């Protein structure tokens, strides 16, 4: 059996929860073998949580900003599945603060996780996509990489960098059969958004904070992770075969609305 005949395989950085996990399940349902990587305990139980799918899911626990961790996980993925066709990067942290309020440690850590993990995933993963004859890279950015709220200097900067990295990959590897696109969500009901809601200074419940945030979105709701995952899976598959170098904003129309 040649590599071309083998079941496709994907590596999802930040894939143990939220958008990444929803993407892993959708890809596995379609018959793709998936490796998920994350800092959470869910990495070890990924296979058990995804039993009965057409594709297999394995998990790796590690630091997305660590060269050694990412290199080892991608190598183990290829050893397990025999190939690699799809790279997805969803890893992120979301500190708050202006450029003067953000400490150097928080700044550097945000860059290591949010843009560093995307770089490392592609740095170590793309050579395997090339061996498979091509593939797809999908990086999850944010609508805050295009237009941002106050007090998110580090996060917005890192997500803007994800957009540029994605365009660079699309340009550099198009002639070798690799497509690269980014997806920029707005508010999505993930652990990261719930953590942000928990910072509410008025001490309101999650539902109360969400109700306020929904009013800022033209369609008056917060997305489910599966809604963003569907876009990622589209871009990673045949449906997105002529999409490359583009950013797909999925924010319910949020950045299409003026702020007054």
Token pair listed for 204: 């309101």
Whether pLDDT at 39 is above 80: yes
Over range 254-258, report the average pLDDT. 89
228: nearest Cα among 181, 195, 196, 194 = 181
Q: What is the pLDDT of residues 174-197, one digit of tens each?
A: 999 999 999 999 999 998 998 988
Catalytic residues: 155
Is 0.85 surpassed by the pTM of this model?
yes
Looking at residue 50, its pLDDT comes to 78
């Amino acid at each position: 059996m040649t590599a071309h005949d083998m079941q496709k395989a994907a590596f999802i950085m930040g894939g143990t929860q939220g958008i990444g996990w929803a993407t892993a399940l959708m890809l596995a349902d379609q018959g793709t073998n998936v490796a998920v990587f994350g800092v959470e305990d869910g990495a070890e139980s990924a296979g058990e949580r995804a039993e009965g799918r057409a594709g297999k899911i394995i998990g790796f626990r590690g630091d997305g900003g660590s060269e050694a961790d990412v290199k080892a996980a991608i190598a183990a993925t290829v050893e397990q599945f025999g190939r690699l066709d799809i790279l997805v990067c969803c890893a992120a942290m979301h500190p708050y603060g202006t450029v003067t309020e953000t400490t150097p440690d928080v700044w550097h850590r945000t860059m290591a996780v949010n843009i560093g993990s995307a770089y490392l995933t592609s740095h170590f993963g793309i050579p395997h996509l090339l061996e498979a004859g091509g593939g797809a890279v999908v990086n999850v950015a944010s609508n805050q990489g295009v237009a941002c709220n106050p007090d998110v200097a580090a996060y917005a900067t890192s997500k803007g960098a994800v957009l540029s990295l994605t365009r660079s990959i699309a340009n550099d590897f198009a002639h070798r059969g690799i497509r690269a696109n980014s997806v920029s969500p707005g508010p999505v009901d993930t652990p990261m958004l719930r953590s942000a809601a928990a910072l509410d200074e008025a001490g309101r419940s999650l539902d109360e904070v969400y109700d306020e945030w929904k009013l800022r979105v033209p369609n008056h709701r917060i997305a489910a992770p599966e809604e963003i995952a569907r876009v990622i899976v589209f871009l990673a598959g045949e449906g997105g075969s002529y999409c490359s170098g583009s950013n797909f904003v999925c924010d319910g129309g949020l950045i299409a609305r003026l702020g007054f």
